[in-house]
Each structure stands twice: as structure tokens, then as C-alpha cells.
Structure 1
Amino acid sequence: MEIFAETERCILREILPEDLEGMYDLDSDPEVHTYLGNTPLTDKAQAADMIDFIRPIYR
């Protein structure tokens, strides 16, 4: 896992397939999408697809 930056309270690192639960929890929350303007995820397969989409962007 590559860490890009780290402080006492925050770690900025690459997203990993193991982040599925956290990605789903965050991206399925309708309140979060109030500010993003997107549609919340409805299942974990969508979260996995999102992680697969994001990972190559880091490279």
C-alpha cells in the first residue's frame, strides 16, 4: 500500500479492494450525496466497480 501523505489524524493512501466496506458505507449514504449531487450506491458490487474505476487513476 502506497501512502502519499500522513499526519497525526489523516492518512492519504491509495484505495484498495479491501476498502469495499468503507466505500460502500460512505457512498451509499444519501446525506453524503446531498453535497456530491450523485446517486447513492445501492449494493456492494457498485462500490467494487467504483474502486476498480478509481485505482488506475492513481497510477
Structure 2
Amino acid sequence: MRTGASRSWRHQIDSGSGNCKKFDHNFGEGRTVIFRACNDTPYLPDPCSAWRTGVA
């Protein structure tokens, strides 16, 4: 991926509340990653955590 490019993904986890899932996007080392977690709520807007920043 070129420097400055951005991508967006949405992952759906059907394993239930409290379960974790790992996703390997193979980001380049040192690349800034911005993410948040949301609950899929039927018929309502999905409640999400605040945006978080990490470094790959």
C-alpha cells in the first residue's frame, strides 16, 4: 500500500458477546492504524467505542 493511502473494513463476528477475533491485515511496520469496535444492534444505530489509534 502506498504511503498516505487509507482503507476501511467492517468485520462481523457472530461468536457472541465477550468473544474476541483476530484479523491479520498485514499492515506495514510503523504504519498508524485507527480503529473502533461496534455492537451490531438490530433496528438501531450500532453503538461504537471511541476511535483508537495504534501503530502496526
Range into which the TM-score falls when normalised by the shorter chain: under 0.3
TM norm structure 2: 0.24
Bigger share in helix: 1
Higher-Rg structure is: 2
TM norm structure 1: 0.23
